[in-house]
Structure 1
Amino acid sequence: MSRETFAFSSSTLRSLRLQREWLEWEDRRRALSRQCLSRRFPLATRSTLLLPKPARRPQYCRDPAVHNVLYTGDLQTLKNIFKDEAMANVIVETVSEELMWSAELGLWVLSPQKRHTSPLRIVAGRGYRDCLKHLILQGAEVDAVVGGKAALHDSCIHQRAECAQLLLSYGANANVLSEEGLAPLHLCTSPETLRCAELLLEHGALVNLSSRDRRMTPLHVAAEHGLEEHVQLYLCYGAGLAHRNREGETALNAACAGADKLSEAGRYYRVAERLLECGADARTAGRKNHTPLHNACGNCHPRLVELLLRYGAAVNVSNCAGYTPMDCALQAVQEYLDGQPERIITTLLDHGAAPINPKLLKFCSLCPRALEVMLNSYDRILSCDSWVEAVPPEMWQEHKTFYDSALQMTNQPRQLQHLARCAVRRYLGARCHSAIPQLKLPLSLRAYLQLPLEGYIR
């Protein structure tokens, strides 16, 4: 037998024959399909159907020189580099060393982390409008989400209204979602982003669109950051006041919870006032059954407390931990010694706050003003060592007159004048704030009924 031949078995020959017949049948089937297609569609349409456009594979750019052109906004060099659609949609990749916890080694180690973004995102976030326009004209996808966000997200984060306007004019989706489920409106979190918010709404942004995870609407975000003009804008576009986020909070809850800095108290007050004027419910409980009043007391915001009570907030409602607004106010005293906590305590008492357990007096022991108001709300001072022991010697020495008088009056009869005050206030109850100013009494007596600060207990 020669080297060019090979002996096939009968079964092998049969398999080869069947395979050849199947291939011939497949050729005939394809030819018939092409004939049918040629009769149903013209040549141009047929070529399009037979040769679909392949999806563009992502291209990555790791060249620092190209990165530098984008970050510096060098328009002329950018035009020389980004000349076509493929380059305009390149993915910019950077690698940075970040501290990561290694469970295997039991220590923090530097680990290289890749970060992705797009040319469009870079120039939009830095306000390079001309560069942005060039990239769009070269075919950059305005809604491409690269590295978690689209260019419109970056425009809003960095307050680049001119770039946001350009993107929207070229068809950018005003409701495009990031990988975290945030729309551009959710990222308007500073006063400087007002113009961005206006542009988004003018181009169809949904004012009641919720974020994916926390279910926050733009109104929640604006209230949480104390953005008065944003709140007004969203209300004009029909923002829902009763919408609750994942934790059950309304925008009013978010505003009262966010007002935790004395320097920003004014703008949060104005936000809450606007929401209440438009119909927000001051009694709605949110996270952990906190009402707006719980949050305002916990943040030691006297004006906000007065505002909420004026709109019907419940003064004795308990949260899931059993704390009333008064309990929250007392627990915040030591953190906000300069925030007039005694004013909040007086306001709550004037609206019918129930008496507290004397053991809670320790929370206000470091603020003589607050402690004086609380002690004067009782017809007698009960023996309670908890607040006495909580006062450091230097504090006692500084306010010796007050602390000594309070200690001396423990379990002692109070003055008849004070007992009469307690009786009147007990009778008026939650009407103290409105009824006492109308009593036909001398001005000094009316002032006395409102628990003024005297600096000592008698």
Structure 2
Amino acid sequence: MAAHQFPFSASALRSLQLEAEQQEKRQILKKLKLRSTRPLLYAERSDRPSQCPPLLCTDPVLLYAMYNGDRTALQDYMGVKCSANLMVQSRNHELRWKSHQTGIWSLTYEEEFTCPLFVTASRGYVDCVQLLLRKGADVEFSPSGESALHGACENAHTECVKILLRHGANPNAESQDGTFPLHRCKIPESYHCAKMLLQYGAHVNRATEDEEHTPLHTAARHGMWEHVDLYLRYAASSDKRNANGETPLCVACGHPQTPQELPQYFQVCQRLVEGGANIHIRDNDQQSPLHLACKSANPQIVQLLLEHGAEVNAMSYSANTAMQYILQVTAYKLDHQPELIVRALLNHGAIRIWPGALIKVSAGLRDIQLPAGTEVETSTVTGERKINFRE
């Protein structure tokens, strides 16, 4: 039956989509005439490596050498008969439903393809990377949709990144999921990787395909203030919005933080504000950086924003102010010292009554029995009512 004629669940529709993609991969393999019956497929002639299709490797000895960095064993196989641009079958961490030839559906890991250069570079095997490049490995060969440079940056292997860039790796190579090598620098140890990418011409304001994150968004999300400082020095835009309308400052303020991570996120926000970030820009839900900082309960960031003129009583799309956001999370953010945030908000003029309750309070004044000698004064600006007592 077609998908619109039967009430498939979302997971079942996703599995059918992944199965269709897998079938497409099988058709491509058939067209390339990749026969996986032999342990290792060699090119018939070594003088024509560029004219031969990629070869699929299933030899366990060669696989062990690649995944464990055994340069000696790898060199024995990388002779005149073996191409360095092999395809290696691997498994993704994503589970999916798969239909076998027997008609039984089972939950299995999605199968992908990679290459020896990606495997060795992502694991930091410098000697193996150099050997493969000398044997003619293509730095842009990416059967899985990710180049070796993506893998080296993601795991912060600086020396491998340097070797790949010197051999012509593209610092602006786009992966299958729409990310670039700079976006793979997600841990503090990847600082020198990011620096080398920028030195070789990486675009600092390049956004991802889906979330539209720039490298500055990525660094702010992971609380890496050194990366933030580096990108700002390379003219990164501090107010560029992502798909949710968030600037890097919004991302840093709203990302969940442990008590140990509060200082590093404060350093990120401090550097962004010093770099000219606009503290009044709101996301698609009309949440300002101050709202988001209260939701994550970071007292230092809240104090920083208030000192730079953040609107303490501004309301989001859900009609909540900064005070309401911190009161909503106080019960499970006690280790963050939320009382410091409440005090800072009150010192900067935060209202003490929930805005949604003002209407009820004003309406209630009309129903109560006031004692003799009192009058109700109504403001012509805000509509609020004030009780004046006379002696």
Question: TM-score w.r.t. structure 1 length?
Answer: 0.63
Distance in 2 between residues matched to 1:87 and 1:205, nearest whole Å: 30
Question: 1:219-238 residue pairs with structure 2 within 5 A?
Answer: 219-238=216-235
Correspondent of 2:77 among 67, 77, 81: 81
SS of 1:333's equivalent in the other structure is: helix
CA displacement, residues 402-443 of structure 1 (integer Å, 9 cap, x when unaligned)? xxxxxxxxxxxxxxxxxxxxxxxxxxxxxxxxxxxxxxxxxx
**Aligned partner (choices 264, 269, 275) of residue 266 of structure 2:** 269
| Aligned equivalent of 2:52 | 56
- Out of 342, 346, 350, the residue aligned to residue 347 of structure 2 is 350
Shift in alpha-carbon separation, 1:358–1:283, aligned structure 2, 3 A: closer
Post-superposition shift, 1:302?
1.0
Residue of 65, 68, 71 corresponding to 1:72: 68
Q: 1:42 — aligned with what?
A: none
Counterpart residue number, 2:121: 124
| 2:203 maps to which of 179, 194, 206 | 206
Q: 2:170 aligns with which of 168, 173, 176?
A: 173
Q: CA deviation at 1:117?
A: 1.0
Distance in 1 (alpha carbons) for counterparts of 2:98 and 2:184: 33
Shift of 1:200: 0.6
Residue 322 (structure 2) aligns with: 325
Give, in whole Å, the separation in 1 of the partners of 2:237 and 2:355: 42
Amino acid at match of 1:62: T
Task: Indicate if the aligned counterparts of 1:85 and 1:139 stay in contact, CA closer than 8 A.
Answer: no
Task: Report deviation, 1:115.
Answer: 2.4
Query: How far apart, CA to CA, are the structure 1 residues paired with 2:91 and 2:81?
Result: 25
Distance (Å, rounded) in 2 between the aligned partners of 1:340 and 1:61: 56
Q: Distance in 1 between matches of 2:156 and 2:207?
A: 21
CA 1:359/1:341 → structure 2, altered by over 3 Å: closer, same or farther? Answer: farther
Residues 34-61 of structure 1: CA deviation (Å, up to 9, x unaligned)? xxxxxxxxxxxxxxxxxx9985322111
Q: Distance in 2 between matches of 1:127 and 1:54?
A: 27
1:87 match: secondary structure: coil
Structure 1: give runs of 5+ residues left out of the alignment. 1-51, 361-381, 383-458
- Aligned residue type for 1:147: S
SS in 1 for 2:334: coil
Largest Rg, 1 or 2? 1
SS of the equivalent of 2:268 reads helix
Are 2:249 and 1:257 aligned? no
Q: Is the 8 A contact 2:187 2:222 kept in 1?
A: yes
8 Å CA contact 1:222, 1:231 repeated in 2? yes
Which residue identity is paired with 1:69?
A
What are the superposed Cα offsets for residues 340-385 of structure 1, whole Å, 9 maximum, x if unpaired?
212111111111112223999xxxxxxxxxxxxxxxxxxxxx9xxx
| Coordinate RMSD, CA, aligned | 2.5
Does the C-alpha gap of structure 1 residues 112 and 282 become closer, same or farther in structure 2, counting only changes over 3 Å? closer
- Residues in 2 aligned to 1:120 and 1:100: alpha-carbon distance in whole angstroms: 27
TM-score by length of 2: 0.73
Letter in 1 for 2:349: G
* Corresponding letter in the other structure for 1:126: R
- Structure 2: how far apart are the matches of 1:259 and 1:199? 30
Alignment of 1:3-42 (within 5 A): none
How do 1:248-397 residues align onto structure 2 when only pairs under 5 Å count? 248-357=245-354
Letter in 1 for 2:61: A
Greater share of strand: 2
Secondary structure (helix, strand or coil) at the match of 2:151 reads helix
| Matched AA of 1:125 | S
| Separation in 2, partners of 1:69, 1:313 | 57
Asked if 2 retains the 8 angstrom alpha-carbon contact of 1:97 and 1:110, the reply is: no
Higher helix share: 1
Q: Distance in 2 between matches of 1:233 and 1:57?
A: 41
1:115 aligns with 2:112: yes
Per the TM alignment, residue 101 of structure 1 is displaced from its structure 2 partner at its CA by: 5.0
Answering whether residue 182 of structure 2 is matched by residue 192 of structure 1, we say no
**In the aligned structure 2, how far is the partner of 1:130 from the partner of 1:55?**
27
Q: Per the alignment, do residues 231 and 73 of structure 1 end up closer, same or farther by CA in structure 2, a change over 3 Å counting?
A: same
The alpha-carbon deviation at position 165 of structure 1 amounts to 0.1
Q: Which amino acid aligns with 2:251?
A: A
- Matched-pair contact (CA < 8 Å) for 1:62–1:94: no
SS at match of 2:324: helix
- Aligned-partner residue type, residue 84 of structure 2: A
Separation in 2 of the partners of 1:359 and 1:337? 26
Give me the whole-angstrom Cα distance separating, in 2, the residues matched to 1:154 and 1:54.
24
Query: 2:68 is matched by which residue type in structure 1?
Result: T
- Matched to 1:57, the amino acid is P
State the one-letter code of the partner of 1:65: V
- What is the match of residue 140 of structure 2? 143
Gaps of 5+ in 2: 1-47, 358-363, 365-391
CA separation in 2, counterparts of 1:72 and 1:274?
41
Rounded to whole Å, the distance in 2 between the matches of 1:78 and 1:93 is 17
Give the Cα–Cα distance (whole angstroms) in 2 for the partners of residues 65 and 246 of structure 1: 46
